[in-house]
Amino acid sequence: MTTIIIAFIVVLGVLIFFHELGHFLVARLCGVGVEKFSLGFGPRLIGKTVGITDYRISAIPLGGYVKMVGDEPDAELDPELLPLSFTHKHVFKRILIVAAGPFFNLLLAVMIYTGFFVFVGTEDIRPVVRHVETGGPAAIAGLQTGDRITAIDGRPVTAWGDIDKLVAEAKGSRLHFSVVRDGEVIDFTIEPQAKVTKDILGDDLPYYDVGCSGLAPLAAIVGEVADGYPAKAMGVRKGDRIVAINDQPVDSWRTMTTLISGSKGAPLHVRLDRAGSVINVEIVPIRFSEENLLGEQVESYRIGISTPGVTIPDADRITIKRGFFQAVAESIAQTYQISRLMVLSIGKLIKGTVSTKTLGGPIMIAEMAGQQAEEGLTHLIFFIAWLSINLAVINFLPIPVLDGGHLLFFFIEAIMRRPLNTRMREMAQQAGIFILIMLMVFVFYNDISRIFSS
């Protein structure tokens, strides 16, 4: 519990600080006076006043704010403060100031990813073929297990990630692979095969595949056996190798799961290899019906075993560090992709194609922060980047009270060449507050329901 609380405060503190720092810095650049820079809401705990600005930490760590001179349109101001007034600045300066908050959240994510790509690097595997799919493009061209791919279309390859990138960029065009086999360089021409999978939102995701991998197929070896499941009841043990199901040979974990799923709950005659001894058991899979991200009921069948995990030889592991400019470019691309996914998710929530049960609030954030902290500092920092992007996207939504709502009013003002009348602004603000309160009640309900259901 202590880890969860500390991680939650750290995560929220970093996100709020950068968000409000964006408002603060751009406000000062635009000549707007700042009266308060607060991390948290409620009573002031500690702080220091510099010039006219009170830098403070407040009691409730669930937000923060920047109080600018003249940020209330109808407030009375001393004449000497008018040059520092937010309301009296040109509308485009006000747009910049308001947009700076969520923009700085995006900038924080880019900074985190850039630092990670430059100084820590990403784990990858060497471009050595460990598996060739039977009948796939690579097999047809003649690639074999153990081949080391050195170049594609003359572009050098140093890690498997380079192969994935070059295949994706080719969009199905023929590729010329240069490989080293037994010390000899051999060239192959491979035409990637178009395939379609599903992304996490259930949309079709087309991609191209050459039919080879840098990972050996996951063997059908039992890692753990769960209590209360058929496998345990029939005596299956950790380390057993499943060699056949219903007399059909099993050469990988994928083949095994396909046969179990296809059983539709019918009894399975399973042949095991246990330290060289052959054991035959009959297992009846259990049917499960679960709700996916789209709110759809998904049927599956399980016998209660798990994989021992993927083992990558140390000789195949490689850490890739980028140069600064390449890291910045990849960080921007990463931030864009997460932002895009977030926007699509919101759209699907509105349409009802994604279940509202996936929404979470402060309790869920605290739990996730605690989990990431227990995994290590790197995981926690990546979580901050991901959450910072989410915060930016949400704040850009055109809901009154949020930054996006203020931006909407200012854009209307820029087009109409006059501000919206006070009554209309007040009604919009009240509607925005009501929406946010209802949303907070709903996500708290989701969080609490999730705790009890687990």
R_g of the chain computed on alpha carbons: 28
Residue given tokens 């220091």 in the structure block: 48
| Torsion, Cα of 410, 414, 419, 425 (10° steps) | -30
Q: In one letter, which amino acid is 217?
A: P
This prediction has a pTM of 0.82
Q: What percent of the chain has pLDDT over 90?
A: 57
pLDDT at position 371 is 87
Is 358 a residue whose pLDDT tops 80? no
Set 20, 35, 169, 282: catalytic member: 20
The token pair at 184 is 């000899």
Confidence of residue 50 (pLDDT cuts 50, 70, 90): very high
56-70, 84-98, 100-114: range with lowest mean pLDDT: 56-70
105-119, 352-366, 378-392: range with lowest mean pLDDT: 352-366
Is 294 a residue whose pLDDT tops 60? no
106-120, 243-257, 341-355, 364-378: range with lowest mean pLDDT: 341-355
How confident is the model over 291-318, as a mean pLDDT?
80
pLDDT tens for each residue of 94-128: 999 999 999 999 999 999 999 999 999 999 999 99
As assigned by CATH, the class of the 125-213 domain is mainly beta
pLDDT at position 293 is 57
Residue-averaged pLDDT of the chain: 89
Catalytic annotation on 133?
no
pLDDT tens for each residue of 188-219: 999 999 998 877 767 788 999 999 999 888 88
Structural domain boundaries in the chain = 1-31+89-120+337-453, 125-213, 221-309
Q: How is domain 221-309 classified at the architecture level of CATH?
A: Roll (2.30)
Long-range contacts from 181-188, C-beta under 8 angstroms, 24+ separation: 181/144, 181/146, 181/147, 181/148, 185/150, 186/147, 188/141, 188/142, 188/143
Confidence of residue 454 (pLDDT cuts 50, 70, 90): low
Answer yes or no: same fold for 125-213 and 221-309.
yes
pLDDT at position 292 is 61
Query: CA-to-CA distance for 391 and 16, rounded, in angstroms?
Result: 9
